[in-house]
Structure 1
Amino acid sequence: MTEEEQIRHAQKMAKIKAARDRMMAGKTGEKGLVIVHTGPGKGKSSSGFGMIMRCIGHGMPCAVVQFIKGSWDTGERRILTTHFSELCQFHVMGEGFTWETQDKRRDIEAAGAAWRRAQELIRDPAIRMVLLDEINIAFRNGYLDPAEVVLFLADEKPPMTHVVLTGRNAPPVLIEAADLVSEITVVKHPFREGIKAQPGVEF
C-alpha cells in the first residue's frame, strides 16, 4: 500500500468512526430484552446458549428451560450443569420430540410444567437471562398459547431480565412483541446428504 493509499484509508476510517460515534452517542438506554431466534436454519439454540455463556462470563445469574429435548444428552447441558451450576440453573422439562412420545396429552402436560417453571425463573429479578429453548415448537404443536406467554412477559417480566425464545416457526404474536428477532435460514445442511446429527455440532 502506498503512502497516499494509507492516507486515504485513514481518512475514510476516521469518517466512519465519527459517524459511528455519533450514532452510539444516542444509544444510552438499557432494558431487559425479549429475544427470538427462529427460522429453518441450524444454530437457534446454539445462539441462545452462546448468550447464556456470555452471562456466565459476566457473573450474571441465568437459567435454561428446555421444552422439547427431554433426556437427550447434550454438550450444553453437560458443561452448564458440571461447571457453572452456581450461576446457571438448567431445567430439562420436555419428554422428547413429539414423534418420539406419540402422546399429545403428555406433551401438553410437560410443556405446561416447563412454562410454569419458566414463569418462576423469569419472575426472579436476580436471574438476568432465561433461555426458553425450543418453546416455539411447543407453540407450533399447540402445547402452549403464545398469546398467554407474550402477555406474561409484558406484565410480569422484571425490567432488566432478558428472555430468549428459540425454535423454528415463531408465531407472529411473539415476533411482534419481541425486541430482537433473528431468522436463521438454510443454505446447505449435511442432513440432506445423509449425515446424521453429531456431537459438538448438533448436540
Structure 2
Amino acid sequence: MLAMLCVVIAGWAGWQYSRRQAVDSESLGDYRADGRAITLLLVEPDVSLNLDAGLRRDSTARLARALDRRLADLGYRTQALSARSDEERFGLTAQTSARTAAIQHQARTAQTIREVGAPVLRVSLDGMKRDGREIAEQAYRIELLDPQTLQPAWRATLTWREGRYQSLALLWHLRHNRLPPPLWDSLADLAMARMREDGVIRAEALIQ
C-alpha cells in the first residue's frame, strides 16, 4: 500500500509539473518580424497591484528582459519602451496635469515606434488567479504589432501555474546540483519556441 501511495503521489506531482506552463497563440495577420530590429513595448501593471502581494509576484518586466536577451542572441537589435507613464501606473490620471502627462507619454511612445519602424513585441500581464491569498496562476500576453498601424498580427498567451510540485521539482534539480529556471526564463523560452514555430521571428541566429 505504501509503495502504491508513493507511485500515486509521484504520478500526481509529475502531472502537475508537466502542466506548469502552457502557450496558446493565434495569427491575426500576415505581418512578421523581418529585418534586424525589434522594439519591446513593456506594459507595466498598475502599482495598486502591490496590495496583497500582487505586483511583487508580477514578472512582466522580467519576462520582457528575458525576451530581450534571447532576441539579441539571435542577432536582433532591440529597443525597450514603456507603454505606460508613471501617472497611469500610480493611478493619478484623475488630475488634469497628470492626465495630460500620460497622454503626452503615449504620443511620444507611438511617435518613437513609428520613426524606428521596427516590429513591436508588446509584453503585458494578462491576469492572475488566486487560491485564497496565494497566487495559483499567472498569464502573460505577447503581441507582435505593425509599427505603422500598431495593430496586432500575432498574439500568444503564456500561462504559469503554481502548485505543490514546485518543492518536488526543486529537490529533483538540486540532486543535479542546479536550480530550476525562474518562471520568466521558462516562459521566455516557451515564447521564443512558439514564435519560431509560427514563423514570427527567424529560426536561426543571424551571422554577423
Work out whether the TM-score is over 0.5: no
TM-score (normalizing by structure 1): 0.33
Higher strand share: 2
TM-score (normalizing by structure 2): 0.32
